[in-house]
Amino acid sequence: MTKYLTINKSLNSKNRNKTIKNKLSAGPVTLAIVTVVLFCALGLLFLAQVFQSQTKSYEVLELKQKAEELKQDNKDLEIKSAELRSMDHIKQSAKQLNLVDTKNIVYINKIGNSVVVMNR
């Protein structure tokens, strides 16, 4: 490659050269190097993306596992709730709270839209 820019070390202004622009020419070796570098860069970029997606995938997997654990916790609570509402548990609780069976049931007839009960 010929010089693109030339700076003359001379302090004499007449001798200063300044090359503004020169033709760029690349030989086969240069091309080969550039190609290799480009491919390496692309390869690195690809690898970086793959690694990133792998990392994200593992994070997604972790989140999925966490979601499964929460689902399981929810299920455990549902089971616990069912056990607390089981007939055996209700009967035990009724006993502890001294609840009794209903014995006397009174049915009241409606008169028009009102219902009145007098307890004698």
Mention every residue, 6+ apart, whose C-beta is less than 8 A from residue 23.
2
Beta carbons within 8 Å of 108's beta carbon, 6+ residues apart: 115, 117
Determine the Cα–Cα distance for residues 85 and 92; give it in Å rounded to an integer. Answer: 11
- How would DSSP label each residue in 92-109? HHHHHTT-----------
Q: Is 67 in the site for other proteins (CB under 8 A)?
A: no
What are the angstrom distances between the C-alpha of 63 and each of 57, 68, 69, 73, 101? 10, 9, 10, 15, 51
Stretch that binds other proteins, among 12-20, 29-37, 39-47, 84-92 (CB under 8 A): 84-92
Asked if 6 and 21 count as a contact pair (C-beta separation under 8 A), the reply is no
Contact pick of 57, 74, 92, 93 for other proteins (by CB under 8 A): 57
Q: Which one of residues 40, 50, 77, 94 is an interface residue with other proteins (CB under 8 A)?
A: 50
79 part of the interface to other proteins, by CB under 8 A: yes
The reply on whether position 39 binds other proteins by CB under 8 A is: no
Out of 11, 29, 100, 105, the only residue in the binding site for other proteins (CB under 8 A) is 105
19, 53, 92, 93: residue in contact with other proteins (rule CB under 8 A) = 53
Contact status: 110 vs other proteins (CB under 8 A): no
Residues that bind other proteins (CB under 8 A): 50, 53-54, 57-58, 60-61, 72, 75-76, 78-79, 82-83, 85-88, 102, 105, 107
